């Protein structure tokens, strides 16, 4: 049976880690406590749920309403959201539709995005909402990456590493599957099982569930939507940077029921020209170097080829020795 269609296991829950403590600053005892939980969760699952109270009820509502307005625009208008990078602009297939904003933590870049869609005068309130939301999630991404690098003793590289990446914010809409095809599993597939190719992904689902994550022993865990929590997940580029110390989990979206689903993703991504290679500190007799150094865009282009798409692990097919 195609592993896409093994039913999800309901009895598991991903680890939940609280990032809302005001005293969560590098060097504090709270920081070390949370850092240990992050490492354990990422070693076990490649992801965890983060409780993050900076996502207020009002901010969630504004993002949700912004997505409703954006996706209601005519398709030719949404198609003006273009990018030179693969998978970064407007995408639409089967139940899935999404818009992408590079550097959404920079207000002018979000203004450029809304200006593309509303050429007369952009959309100030939608720009500000997406910008604020992205900024908040960037804070979480930075904390998690700092914790990971400290955990593996490579904190010397933190500044260099953080300067080598940028952020993409993706807004996603999934329509409900046609009900006359109820027993055809393929029609419920919102997003096929995949690993993310970037560094860290932070996903948030709005009320309607559908996201599932695969465990190391091939069980699917359903991620429950929650107002103030998000899913933090390792991508292939981070796996490569850490010489395979953490893995990027397979995940997918399965749509059931009659509701339209909205979700958002913040993706930290290596900048063009940056070479992904593990530091010497992570290579020794017990941990020989697994991957050849590579550039992210080359990896993405490989993923677009037939060989990349059919590989069990595109990362291994592309970069393993
Ligand atoms: O919509 C979701 O929750 C998942 C999206 C996702 O996995 C992706 O964009 O890579
Ligand atoms: Fe993904």
**Which pLDDT tens digit goes with each residue over 70-103?**
999 999 999 999 988 888 899 999 999 999 999 9
Residue 222 has pLDDT above 80, yes or no: yes
pLDDT band at 6 (very low <50, low <70, confident <90, very high): low
Three-state secondary-structure class, residue 26: coil
Cβ(203) – ligand 1 distance below 6 Å: yes
194 is in an annotated binding site: yes
Give residue 54's region: left, alpha or beta (phi > 0; psi -120 to 50): alpha
Token readout for 92 is 């639409």
Cβ(261) – ligand 1 distance below 6 Å: no
- More confident position, 189 or 6: 189
Instruction: Give the pLDDT of residue 1.
Output: 40
Is the separation of the CB atoms in 17 and 51 below 8 Å?
yes
Cβ atoms within 10 Å, residue 71: 17
Domain boundaries, the chain: 16-272
From 265, 266, 314, the mutation candidate for ligand 1 (largest count of ligand atoms within 8 A of CB) is 265
Positive or negative, the Cα torsion across 71, 62, 228, 102? positive
The pair phi, psi for residue 92, each rounded to 5°, is: -155, 115
What CATH number belongs to 16-272?
A: 2.60.120.330
* Cα–Cα dist 94/97, whole Å: 8
User: What percent of the chain clears pLDDT 70, i.e. is strictly above it?
Assistant: 95
Cβ(251) – ligand 1 distance below 6 Å: yes
pLDDT band at 16 (very low <50, low <70, confident <90, very high): very high
* Cα–Cα dist 304/302, whole Å: 5
Cβ(191) – ligand 1 distance below 6 Å: yes
- More confident position, 265 or 178: 265
Query: Which residue has the least CA distance to atom 9 on ligand 1?
Result: 265
DSSP state of 181: G
Average pLDDT for the chain: 94
pLDDT band at 2 (very low <50, low <70, confident <90, very high): very low
**Ligand 1, atom nearest to 170 Cα:** 9
Residue 155 has pLDDT above 50, yes or no: yes
103 is in an annotated binding site: no
Token readout for 179 is 């009900």
What is the Cα Rg of the chain in Å?
19
Is the separation of the CB atoms in 118 and 144 below 8 Å?
no
Q: Which of 270, 310, 265, 309 is nearest to 293 (CA)?
A: 270
**Which pLDDT tens digit goes with each residue over 28-61?**
999 999 999 999 999 999 999 999 999 999 999 9
Instruction: Give the pLDDT of residue 168.
Output: 97
Rounded distance from Cα 135 to ligand 2 centre (Å): 20
User: What percent of the chain clears pLDDT 90, i.e. is strictly above it?
Assistant: 88
261 is in an annotated binding site: yes
Give the sheet arrangement for strand 229-234, strand by strand. 16-18, 47-51, 229-234, 200-206, 261-270, 165-174, 96-102, 91-93
The arithmetic mean of pLDDT across residues 13-27, rounded, is 94
pTM for the predicted model, two decimal places: 0.96
Instruction: Give the pLDDT of residue 186.
Output: 83
């Amino acid at each position: 049976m195609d592993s896409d269609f093994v039913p999800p296991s309901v009895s598991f829950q991903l680890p939940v880690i609280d990032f809302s403590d005001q005293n969560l600053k590098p060097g504090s005892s709270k920081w070390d406590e949370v850092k240990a939980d992050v490492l354990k969760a990422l070693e076990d699952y490649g992801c965890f749920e983060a409780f993050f109270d900076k996502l207020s009820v009002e901010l969630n509502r504004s993002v949700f309403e912004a997505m409703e307005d954006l996706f209601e625009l005519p398709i030719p208008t949404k198609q003006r959201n273009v990018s030179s990078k693969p998978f970064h602009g407007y995408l639409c297939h089967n139940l899935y539709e999404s818009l992408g904003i590079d550097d959404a933590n920079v207000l002018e870049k979000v203004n450029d995005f809304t200006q593309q869609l509303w050429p007369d005068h952009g959309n100030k309130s939608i720009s500000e909402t997406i910008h604020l939301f992205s900024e908040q999630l960037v804070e979480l991404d930075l904390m998690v990456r700092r914790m990971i690098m400290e955990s593996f003793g490579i904190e010397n590289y933190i500044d260099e590493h953080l300067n080598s990446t940028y952020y993409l914010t993706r807004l996603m809409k999934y329509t409900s599957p046609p009900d006359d095809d109820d027993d055809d599993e393929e029609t419920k597939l919102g997003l096929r099982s995949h690993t993310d190719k970037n560094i860290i992904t932070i996903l948030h689902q709005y009320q309607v569930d559908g996201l599932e994550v695969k465990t190391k022993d091939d069980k699917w865990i359903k991620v429950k939507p929650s107002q103030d929590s998000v899913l933090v997940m390792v991508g292939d580029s981070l796996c490569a940077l850490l010489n395979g110390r953490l893995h990027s989990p397979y995940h997918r979206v399965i749509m059931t029921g009659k509701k339209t689903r909205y979700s958002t993703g913040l993706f930290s991504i290596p900048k063009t020209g940056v070479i992904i290679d593990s530091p010497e500190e992570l290579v020794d007799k017990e941990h020989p170097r697994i991957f050849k150094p590579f550039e992210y865009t080359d990896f993405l282009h490989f993923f677009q080829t037939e060989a990349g798409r059919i590989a069990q692990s595109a990362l291994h097919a592309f970069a393993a020795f």
